[in-house]
Structure formats: structure tokens, C-alpha cells
Amino acid sequence: MSVIRTGFVSHPDQERHDTGPGHPERAARHRAIVERVHESGLAAELELCAAVPIALAQLEPVHDARHARALQAAIEGGARLVDDGDTRVSAGSWRAALLAAGGAVLAAERVAAGAWSNAFVAARPPGHHAERGRAQGFCVLNNVALAAAHLRTQLGLERVAIVDWDVHHGNGTQAIFAADPTVYYASLHQWPLYPGSGLAEERGVGPGLGATRNCPLAPGSGDREWLAALEAAVLPDLERFAPEFLLVSAGYDAHRDDPLGGTALSTAGFGRLTRLLVDFARSRCGGRLVLVLEGGYDLGALAAGVEASIAELRAG
């Protein structure tokens, strides 16, 4: 039996992204995850790795170059808000965003090369609301989309799949790949809820028609409903798509204790979601699986959910 090597990617400079008093997407989120990994004993079983900033040229397959330059200039010039009233930034936010995206790319590279079996990326700021030319919804750069694009354009993979289980629909990721038949995107999310997209009839456009799947779930839905959606809708799609690599936008704000969501997933539910995708990846794409952090705003629920997911990654 092969040894499971699970990578854990983080960087303390992601905590320099200062969103100010009272903002739910705060530095304590990153600290809570790192502390739980160490206090639980998981750190001894993981290959810990510091994220490296993504190169500016690597942003171009996903983000318009003029937008990226303007975003960098705004942040480094002292902006406190970018593009919407929710996405607060500080002097350290541009480096943090480059580290979050670079960490996702690094993990994808190492898993694709076989150095790791799978990985968890404690990315901050999150990414799945960021569009090609717009930062929004607490997100600056689209971390998981950049990892997917890197796998396709730089590492030569033909089919990459993204499963998003954040309580909010990943409108940015969907828009970036809506017309791309080589990247499958599936989202489990509460509806109605910000950002208002993610209806079941949204299935992609043009050549990408059919490579998008949305599973909107009613407020109050819990483990049973979320697991059923993954098993009944997403996994059969993944079987047909036959990805070579699986990425997960892993949000933990569907937890019943989260202040921004209205669904009722348990900590064990996140473990079971992870287990289903670990099993799929092992049987269909050589185990190649990377989880990239998105939301999750109750610190205890976030840390516990991440611990549950990493335990499943380690179990292989």
C-alpha cells in the first residue's frame, strides 16, 4: 500500500490582510486553522509547506492584466475597499492575495508531480467570488481558478474539475470557466443567498454547456441534503467528465454555527463530503485532490471542519 503524503500549505503573511474591526473575514480565521492543525497532532502527519507568491504573469490566464495592475496599484496606494463595499483591504493585502493564489498553484503542482498524494491550502483571502476583472465578496484573486488554469496551461492536463461546497455560490469561478469544456465546475450552495447566482439551469455557455452544475439548497438544509446532492448530481457528472485532477473550493460557512450562512451542516458532514471526493479521486484520477479554503466565519466551526477534512485526506 502506498504511503499517503498530505501537504498543508499556509503562510503567516496572509494574516497581514487586515480587513478592520468587525469584519467576518479576519486574520483570526487563518490562525485558528493553523493552531488546530498543530494542537490536534495532525501537523506531525502532514508535510507543512510555506506558500510562495504567484508570479504576476501567472495571473493572466484568469485575470485581465489591466485589472490586476489596477488592483495592485489601488491596494499599494492605500485603498481600504476594492470594487464593492465588502472587500476591505490593507497595505498587506496584495502580498496576502499573491500568497493565497500561489499556495493553491504550488499545491496543485506538487500533487500533479506525485510529491504529495493530496493537499489542503489554508488560503486567505478567499477567491471564488473574484471574476476576471473584479474583486468582490471578500475575494481578491480567484485562487482555485488560477490553480485549475495552471494545471491546464502549464502542466498540460486535459480535464480539471472543481467542486465548490461553500455556502455561497462561486460566481467568479463559474463565470471564468462557463465557456470552457475542459474545466468542470460544480457548486453546492444555499439559495437564496449572496451573490444571487447559481440556479440549477445555469449549465455553462457555448462549448462549455454541460460543464457547469449547480445544486442550490434551501436554508436549513443539513448533512442529508448536501450529501445527497453531491452523490446524486455531482458524482455522476464527475464520472462522465473523467477529470485528471480534482480541486475543491472548501468553504466551511455552511456549518450550522456559521453567522453568515443559514444551513445546518455538521462537522462530521464536512468530513463525509471530503471522504466522498477522496474516494472519487482515488478511483478516477489517481488520488489527485487539493482542497483550497474559501469561507467559514465561526472560528470553532471552521477549525473543526478543516480538521475533519484533513483527517479524511490523511486516511486516503
CA distance 191 to 71: 30
Residue 74 lies in a domain: yes
Nearest partner of 309 among 297, 293, 288, judged by Cα = 293
Q: What are phi and psi of 218, to 5 degrees?
A: -70, 150
Domain that holds residue 247: 6-315
List Cα–Cα distances, 25 to 14, 43, 71, 112, 136, in angstroms.
12, 24, 19, 30, 12
Residues 6+ apart with CB under 8 A from 35: 303
66 burial level (CB within 10 Å; 0-12, 13-18, 19+)? exposed
> Residue 192 falls within a domain, yes or no?
yes
CA distances from 251 to 61, 189, 258, 300, 309 (A): 24, 10, 11, 14, 11
In a domain, residue 224? The reply is yes
Q: Choosing from 11, 30, 129, 255, which is the catalytic residue?
A: 129
For the question of residue 129 being annotated catalytic, the response is yes
Count of structural domains within the chain = 1
- Cα(266)–Cα(83) distance, rounded to whole angstroms? 33
The CA distance from 215 to 199, in Å, is 7
Strand-pair partners of 10: 50
Is 1 part of any domain?
no
Q: Considering the domain boundaries, does residue 243 fall inside one?
A: yes
CATH of the domain at 271: 3.40.800.20
Averages of pLDDT over runs of 10 residues in the chain (316 residues) are 89 97 97 98 98 97 96 95 88 98 98 98 98 97 98 98 98 98 98 98 98 98 98 98 98 98 98 98 97 98 98 96
277 within some domain: yes
Residue 105 lies in a domain: yes
237 occurs within a structural domain: yes
